[in-house]
Chains A and B, each alone.
Chain A
Amino acid sequence: MNLQAIRSIYLFEMARFFRTLMQSFISPVISTSLYFVVFGTAIGSRIESVEGVGYGAFIVPGLIMLSVMTQATSNASFGIYFPKFIGTIYELLSAPVSFLEITVGYVGAAATKAMFIGIVILATSFLFVDFTIQHPLAMIAFLTLTCLSFSLLGFIIGIWAGNFEQLQLIPLLIITPLVFLGGSFYSVSMLPPIWQTITMFNPVVYLISGFRWSFFGTADVSIGLSLFAITVFTGICLAVIAWIFRTGWRIRQ
């Protein structure tokens, strides 16, 4: 195992994050504040509580998931796509590193950045609403798994993408709608029965539900099902990456 290579890739990617620290830090703080103003104050004032939790607090896990999923995906996809775009990928391909080490470096860095943003949003949330986290360890575990799995997805997108448009395609057209429709700002039980059934086909529902359970102890689906869903999702991403390793698809001719 080339640990130095993993360390180098990780630090190089984190350096890119710290170069744009203001953007990385300020942007989620402002977005979260706006969500609280719009959803928490304007709409929340008309909704007393959802499943016994004040609406302002209820949306916190969904807000964190929304940012974490999109940030993990975009950071990981950009991380591996950029060397392809500017040609520095030659160095990765000619170095004594395996694809596993390359993946650990890039995905680890993207997951760390997403985790950082998740924590910033959580900290910002405390400024607007009062709540306690009932299962902090489970919350950290869910957050970590989500950061990792969506970074893996982003890594696949980055390898697949042939241009910047394709790089944005899946995050914008698939992930963001799925997150918005996955119960970020509402409980699935608030939907009409037919939409409750349709919503269950959205994998993000299980992730947000599990994460919300770690905060408030209530969930749309059982915690076991949520864990199963995120494990399956991570497994699928790992299987795709393993196939990419074997074939060199879109990387090594």
Chain B
Amino acid sequence: MTTIVDVCGLTKRYDGGFEALKNVDLSIAQGEIIALLGPNGAGKTTLISTICGITRATEGTVTIGGHDNVTEFRAARNLVGLVPQEINLEPFEKVINTVRFSRGLFGKAPNDAYLEKVLRSLSLWDKKDSKIMELSGGMKRRVLIAKALSHEPRVLFLDEPTAGVDVELRKDMWDVVADLKKDGVTIILTTHYIEEAEAIADRIGVIAKGEILLVENKDDLMTRMGQKTLKVDLATPVTTIPDVLKDYDLVIEGDGLLYSYDTKTDRTGITGLLADLQKAGLKMTDLQTRQSSLEEIFVSLVAQREDAA
């Protein structure tokens, strides 16, 4: 895959000495959706701001489409659209005018037909003559996306685009992101909603305290780090683990037993467990398996990092 965004050794140190980014390396392939996860203050927004040119890097380089974002800032920024975390919009301006303004800023000639297409895709066309201050919070977020898309970017940064929006709108946004991906737009997304990353991202990056802890294909990550659990519901609940099952490290949970196993290993121990449950004379009423969520993986990664520090 062709790399469209390449971040090398990026460090951002503020005047007070605080390092918001520490020697960050990140390569983003054309057409992929990468989700950056991290707790508050991890450096997600600083990373996006530095790539987009809002913040100056202390050390390191960023290239977008092969163009350095400092020495060839026009060519680099032409490719980029940014949806900021905060709803930053001119309240008294009409929707259509603010979108036209964004397109013009990026040096694109007026094209109302294209803007109509963008506004329709975001269900904003009916509101095109409304003032920003008259819109709901969700609509304002859509306007931010429309502004970012107004100049036909090839790379779109979405900085927590669904923060504070209702579930329905969040799903709508995911659909918009999916459509953009179909059009070949590369999407870099930061989010607190791990469910969001799990639903739409191709790759996951985890960032904490200004460092990238990992960047990995989402499915590989879930397989590699994911633990599965097998819940065995029993006809007659037990209060202690029978001796024949002591080796399985079982946990009593409700009316059943919980068995954790690693999907990476060849032998999960499930067959033996089921046989030994019979030997112990325990009658099973139901079996359920559950995979660790991305959220659990994320929490575990950040916790490991903090322990190491």
Contact = CB atoms under 8 A, between A and B. Distances in A.
A5 B104 contact: yes
Given A4-B109, A9-B105, A97-B105, A90 B97 contact: no
A252 B56 contact: yes
A93 B54 CA distance: 5
Interface residues on A, range: 20 to 34
A7 interface: yes
Interface string A65-97: 000000000000000001100111011111111
Given A86-B88, A87-B84, A252-B55, A15 B104 contact: no
B77 A94 contact: yes
A76 to B, nearest CB: 17
B109 A94 contact: no
B101 A12 contact: yes
Given A12-B97, A96-B74, A96-B107, A91 B53 contact: no
A95 B105 contact: yes
B93 A96 contact: no
A88 B107 CA distance: 18
B107 A90 contact: no
Contacts of B77: 94-96
B106 A96 contact: yes
B92 interface: yes
Contacts of B75: 96
A166 interface: no
Contacts of B103: 8
B82 interface: yes
A253 B55 contact: yes
A117 B57 CA distance: 43
Given A19-B92, A86-B91, A88-B89, A94 B104 contact: no
A91 B105 contact: yes
Given A12-B97, A252-B56, A253-B56, A92 B88 contact: no
B218 interface: no
A12 B92 CA distance: 11
B86 interface: yes
Contact of A2 (B90, B101, B107): B107
B293 to A, nearest CB: 33
A19 B93 CA distance: 9
A91 B84 CA distance: 9
A96 B86 contact: no
A248 interface: yes
B86 A5 contact: no
A3 B106 CA distance: 10
A12 B90 CA distance: 10
B90 A5 contact: no
Contacts of B109: 4
A7 B101 CA distance: 9
A5 B110 CA distance: 11
A100 B74 CA distance: 13
Interface string B71-104: 0011111101010101011111100010011111
Contacts of A95: 77, 105-106
Nearest to B80: A94
A248 B56 CA distance: 9
A3 B80 CA distance: 19
B114 interface: no
Nearest to A92: B105
B193 interface: no
16 contacts: A2-B74, A5-B104, A7-B104, A8-B101, A8-B103, A9-B101, A9-B105, A11-B101, A12-B93, A12-B101, A87-B84, A91-B88, A91-B147, A92-B105, A97-B105, A253-B14
- Considering the complex of A and B, which 5 residue pairs feature the smallest CB-CB distances, nearest first? A8-B104, A87-B88, A96-B74, A95-B105, A96-B77
Interface of B: 14, 49, 52-56, 73-78, 80, 82, 84, 86, 88-93, 97, 100-109, 147
